[in-house]
Amino acid sequence: MSQPTQHVLLIAPVMDALQQQLDAHYTVHRLYQQPDAAAWLAENGANVGAVVTRGDVGVTSAVLENLSQVGVIAIFGVGTDAVDLEYARRRHIAVTVTAGALTDDVADLAFGLLLSSARQLCLGDRFVREGRWLQESPALATQVSRKRIGIFGMGNIGRAIARRASGFDMDIYYTDRQADNTLPYHWCDDVLSLAQRSDFFVVAVSGGKESQGIVNREVFQVLPVHALVINIARGSIINEPDLIAALQNGDIAGAGLDVFVDEPNVPAEFIGMDNVVLQPHVASATHETRQRMSHIVFENVQAYFNGQPLPHRIN
């Protein structure tokens, strides 16, 4: 087997430290800087041995078609919905993610959105800054402790959210592809039965074709009217028009959203609602976690070029 070519194709910008580390060891090409990406790929694609990309961007099969020597796709993130895994399997292209590095941060933000939505932290901050406290009392908020939380997706992040919920003495329900009898939580057969039992409905399931739009009008209709919806997974999992309608009609009480279908374009309806807390897809955006993610990406690229087993391969 010939030594893979030491050229890396960077699909989208990543942390400066990671880019500098890749630059120091390999020949790095930045596809996002090419004025004519198709022409560049046609002329240079055969030299590329590794692809580095972000989870929210991925890499298209059309790009990979031009990379005859590529052997690994190293994803900065845990989302694989923007990569055709079946195509990668057929081409024998390894796919790696930064699993584990961002679990705590994403779970922290999920609970931050839950608390902010329930206790109206953003409204309270504005209430003080606008001087309204001098003339009136703030509105009452919603208790979090000892309430029911429904977690849709009990992977690493879902489990971390559940552990945090247990600290608030919450009654924890969940659904996923299958029940895990080792977990001390209440299993629900499907997303609708989970929604019926949720004061707080947290979306933590993986994105992709299987989950696209699965949290929709049916779910919002069976949620209690006082329920809050939290999404730190992928914007595509929630049918946004259905969520907007549910909020406008009072079918649910509010939402906390870190992800959207067409980022960074957030629907104006969300922006105009006081009962929706918005974040710019920053669940893993801490110095510590992004450094760990960068290290994992480089570790996988280095292992591939050195002919070693890939430590974070998923396929």
Structural Rg of the chain based on CA atoms: 22
Note whether 32 and 12 are within 8 A (CB).
Answer: yes
| Euclidean distance between CA atoms 206 and 216, whole angstroms | 16
pLDDT grade for 129, boundaries at 50, 70 and 90: very high
19 dihedral zone (left: phi>0; alpha: psi -120 to 50; beta) = alpha
Mean pLDDT of the chain: 96
Whether the CB-CB separation of 75 and 97 falls below 8 Å is answered with: yes
Distances (CA, A) of 98 to 30, 201, 208, 267, 299: 21, 26, 18, 30, 10
Choose the catalytic residue: 65, 86, 210, 263: 263
DSSP 193: H
Helix (H/G/I), strand (E/B), else coil: 144: coil
Residue 1 has pLDDT above 50, yes or no: no
List Cα–Cα distances, 111 to 203, 204, 214, 230, 255, in angstroms: 12, 12, 22, 9, 12
- Mean pLDDT computed over 68-84: 96
8 A C-beta contact, residue 217 and residue 202: no
> How far apart, in whole angstroms, are the C-alpha atoms of residue 115 and residue 136?
23
Spatial contact of 7 and 29, defined as CB atoms under 8 Å apart: yes
Percent of the chain with pLDDT over 70: 99
pLDDT in tens, 189-231: 999 999 999 999 999 999 999 999 999 999 999 999 999 999 9
Average pLDDT of 110-129? 98
Is residue 130 packed enough to be buried (19+ CB in 10 Å), middle (13-18) or exposed (0-12)? exposed
HSE of 240, CA atoms in CB hemisphere, 13 A: 17
Q: Is 263 a catalytic residue?
A: yes
- Please report the pLDDT score of residue 4 as a whole number: 61
What are 250-307's pLDDT values in tens digits? Answer: 999 999 999 999 999 999 999 999 999 999 999 999 999 999 999 999 999 999 999 9
Closest by CA position to 54, among listed 85, 76, 29, 83: 76
| Greater pLDDT, 227 or 2 | 227
Q: Quote the pLDDT of residue 3.
A: 54
Selecting among 217, 281, 295, 313, the annotated active-site residue is 281
pLDDT confidence of 65, banded at 50, 70, 90?
very high
For the stretch 137-169, pLDDT in tens is 999 999 999 999 999 999 999 999 999 999 999
Q: What is the C-alpha separation between 309 and 293, in angstroms, rounded? A: 18
Percent of the chain whose pLDDT exceeds 90 = 97
Q: What is the pLDDT of residue 116?
A: 98
Listed in order, strand segments (DSSP E) in 69-126 are 72-76, 94-96
Catalytic residue among 54, 197, 234, 312: 234
If we measure between CA atoms, which residue out of 207, 119, 110, 201 comes closest to residue 163?
A: 110
